[in-house]
Amino acid sequence: MELLGGKDNIISEAHCATRLRLVMKDESKIDQAQVEEIDGLKGAFSSSGQY
């Protein structure tokens, strides 16, 4: 959660079979470079208000 700007930066979360979908208060607080270094993560991006 630290890499996402902390617990208070997450508005909501949901998942499907292949993705974790997050709605963030402030996406600029996300440490994108460090998130992409997480083992097992295939990618991270923002689209249509979801990260």
- The β-bridge partners of 15 are 20
- The answer to whether 16 is a known catalytic residue is yes
Q: Active-site residue among 1, 2, 12, 16?
A: 16
Hey, CA dihedral for 38, 41, 45, 49, is it positive or negative?
Answer: negative
Number of CB atoms found within 10 A of residue 22's CB: 19
Catalytic positions, written as ranges: 16
